[in-house]
Amino acid sequence: MIAYLEGKILRKEADGIILLAGHIGYEILLDTITMSRCMEKSQANETIELYIYYHVTERQPKPVLIGFLTPDDKEFFQLFITVAAIGPMKAIKALTRPVSQVARAIEDRDTVFLSQLTGIGKRTAEKIVATLNGKVLAFAAAKSQDQNVASMDQQDFVPEEKRTMVRQVVDVLTEQLGHSASSARSMIQQALEKNPGISTPEDLFDEIYQETR
């Protein structure tokens, strides 16, 4: 089974791409958000990295590959298709909005929002809420986390090679320890300015709490 592919876009198609990976072209279906991001990466000559949902059934013996930019997006998709009457082909067309927004609508029981997704009517929107409400809160929270991290990444004080470390520390400070994004930014900036040689999350935490003691 194919679970992950990386390569360059050989050709864009109506509902996906042909990804050239290891001299083999894979036909991969994408939702509209993932398609847009993949094309941006392609225009920047970046390698496309996709987590793959492999779909094949007796009724549809031809394998279908559906691609996602992150494991979380793939996991949400797998939850989404547990809803009655939503199969993989319908789901990939329905996800015309970011996963975080769809998840938030599910948690808020916003059937009006959900019914605006492609192919999702009022009755199906109600089924989605009934099936998934209370199960997708982590995906709904991802938007604010991503925005906080992106804000950090855009700051000059975060060298590119340290951004993964900073992401990890931001998550702990904001999600587990209750600090605001601005407070986390200030603490991290002060720690990195005082000790530019910090290279691990553990060292960064040590420096932050030396600053606050």
In whole angstroms, give the CA distance from residue 14 to residue 35.
10
In whole angstroms, give the CA distance from residue 206 to residue 97.
40
User: Which is higher by pLDDT, 209 or 122?
Assistant: 122
Q: What is the pTM of this model?
A: 0.66
Say yes or no to pLDDT of 154 above 50: no
- CA 107 from centre of chain: 18
- CA 1 from centre of chain: 22
Give the pLDDT of residue 181. Answer: 67
Q: Estimate the share of the chain in helix, then strand, then coil, as percent rounded to the nearest 5.
A: 55, 15, 30
3-state SS class at 84: coil
User: pLDDT tens digits for 97-136?
Assistant: 889 889 999 999 999 999 999 999 999 999 999 999 999 9
Percent above pLDDT 90 for the chain: 53
3-state SS class at 90: helix
The two tokens of residue 168 are: 């990890």
Give the pLDDT of residue 109. Answer: 94
Say yes or no to pLDDT of 165 above 90: no
Residue 138 phi/psi, 5-degree rounding, is: -60, -35
DSSP letter, residue 28: E
